Amino acid sequence: MVAAAEYYEAASSGLGASFLDELEATVRRIQLDTETWRKISENHRKCRIRRFPFAIIYSLGKDEILIVAVMDLRQGPERWKDRLQGE
């Protein structure tokens, strides 16, 4: 997430902040309706970030939303599964 924001900021002043704003807006969309977004495994869902080729991969706990990855959709679609080692 930080690397993506830095990359966009280096490409165009203010674009990194726009990326972070869209990321926050996506988290809010997930919070409003956690079940809406497409299931990609038994316990995980994916919600795309608007304007940028990224998505948030998350799972639902009893009283929490666990963000597993902020995934660059231009990279391997299975890379987020590496983040599950500690789960």
Query: Is there a contact between 43 and 62 (Cβ–Cβ < 8 Å)?
Result: no
Residue 87 has pLDDT above 70, yes or no: no
Alpha helices (runs of H) in the chain, residue ranges in sequence order? 2-11, 15-32
Going by pLDDT thresholds of 50, 70 and 90, the confidence category of residue 76 is confident
Reported as a single tens digit per residue, the pLDDT across 10-35 is 999 999 999 999 999 999 999 999 99
Mean pLDDT value across the chain: 90
Structural domains of the chain ordered from first start:
2-76 (3.30.2310.20)
Predicted confidence (pLDDT) per residue in 59-71, tens digit: 998 899 999 999 9
CA nearest neighbour of 51 among 21, 85, 29: 21
Q: Report pLDDT for 62.
A: 87
